[in-house]
Amino acid sequence: MNCITIAMCAVGFILGYSFNKYYADKEIVKAYGLSEKNKYLFRTAAQWLDRERSGDGICKYLQNNRYKRVAVYGLSHMGKVLIDILESSRVEVVYGIDNGLVQYSFKMPIYSINEELPNVDVVIVTPVYSYEQIRCDLVGKVKCPIVSLADIVFK
């Protein structure tokens, strides 16, 4: 082999290794973030179940804070369960807010965060891992408290 061929092979190897390492590291970071998010969701769901079972659940929290009309932000699995629980109580779920593809059908109107949102007593945010960003997005759009589902169940 001549020197040019060896040099080209070495450069190809180094570039290939660097490219693969960059994307592998990026995927590891992404997987770790997803793992942390799922761990937080699991802990929130487990605590929520314990609170509901002990009779100190979401409805009691809402009643104690005199919240009668609520909006639910995030209409995936946690949002669906929350709405099901609230619909069997005296709390009125006025509307839902979601920016993605809604997986379930609901009886109430569903708004995007970019639309004008009707007045309610409180907005409950179910994507607990993204609460801070969602709260920032909602401030100025609603004139009521914005609470995380995790804040309710871990109180």
pLDDT tens, the chain, 155 aa long: 566 666 555 555 565 555 555 555 555 555 555 677 777 778 888 888 888 889 889 999 999 999 999 999 999 889 999 999 999 999 999 999 998 767 678 889 999 999 999 999 999 999 998 999 999 999 999 999 999 999 999 88
Sheet holding 122-125, edge to edge: 110-111, 92-97, 69-73, 122-125, 146-148
Q: Structure pTM? A: 0.78
Q: Are the C-beta atoms of residues 143 and 119 closer than 8 Å to each other? A: yes
With CA atoms as reference, report the closest residue to 78 among 145, 150, 155.
Answer: 150
CATH numbers and ranges of domains, the chain: 1-155 (3.40.50.720)
Quick check: helix, strand or coil at residue 110? Answer: strand
Q: Are the C-beta atoms of residues 147 and 64 closer than 8 Å to each other? A: no
Separation of alpha carbons 150 and 155, rounded Å: 8
